[in-house]
Amino acid sequence: EVLLLFDRVDEWLVSSLTEFDGKPLKSIAKGELDLGDLEDEGEKKEQKKIAKEFKDLVKRVKKALGDRVKEVRLTHRLTDSPACLVSDLYDMGTHLERILKEAGQEVPSSKPILELNPEHPLVLKLREEKPGKRFDDWVEVLFDQALLAEGGQLDDPATFVARLNALLLELGKEG
């Protein structure tokens, strides 16, 4: 069973109320999402194969982002998005962190985990991209898009727009 909890205070609720009516409550925005019970052996083998094929890309993306992220990994939780940001299992979630900061509380810093959707066309195209400035810009745009999608704010919106425009112009020339 799934509960769709999308209000900002829901993260606080789930972190405080870990069980309801004998059923555990878990946030899909924290830690690795384990759908093992829902997957058959064929799907598990396919995921291992994909992980092997994308190992180099994951390393390159981590290198491009450096210490902005705790980790880069593949995910199968996404369907339409190329990437998302999640918190580590025991880190504070981003929404709760923002609520506490807005209330004037000191919040321990934590780095997000960037998860890439290996089936998304942008990630597949990124995998083919050679190392260099364009690759790094593309990674930064994916990171910033994931940050915006989860409700975060960009440190430098002007740089994001400049990167995105440059990539669009380059891709337009290729087409």
The answer to the question of residue 63 being in a domain is yes
Q: Which of 141, 115, 100 is nearest to 57 (CA)?
A: 115
The answer to the question of residue 44 being in a domain is no
- pLDDT score recorded for residue 73: 94
State the virtual CA torsion across 152, 167, 68, 114 in degrees, nearest 10: 70
DSSP H or E run through 72: strand 71-74
Total tally of structural domains belonging to the chain: 1
Range of the domain at 109: 50-174
The phi, psi pair for 19, rounded to 5°, reads -150, 145
The answer to the question of residue 26 being in a domain is no
The answer to the question of residue 129 being in a domain is yes
Rounded to the nearest integer, the mean pLDDT of the chain is: 84
The answer to the question of residue 21 being in a domain is no
- pLDDT score recorded for residue 156: 94
Can you tell me the distance from the alpha carbon of 139 to that of 152, in angstroms, rounded to the nearest whole number?
Answer: 17
Can you tell me the distance from the alpha carbon of 118 to that of 54, in angstroms, rounded to the nearest whole number?
Answer: 8
Percent of the chain with pLDDT over 70: 80
CATH code of the domain covering residue 78: 1.20.120.790
**pLDDT, tens digit, 9 for 90 and up, residues 72-104:** 999 988 889 999 998 887 766 776 777 777 788
The answer to the question of residue 126 being in a domain is yes
The answer to the question of residue 147 being in a domain is yes
The answer to the question of residue 159 being in a domain is yes
Q: Does residue 68 surpass a pLDDT of 70?
A: yes
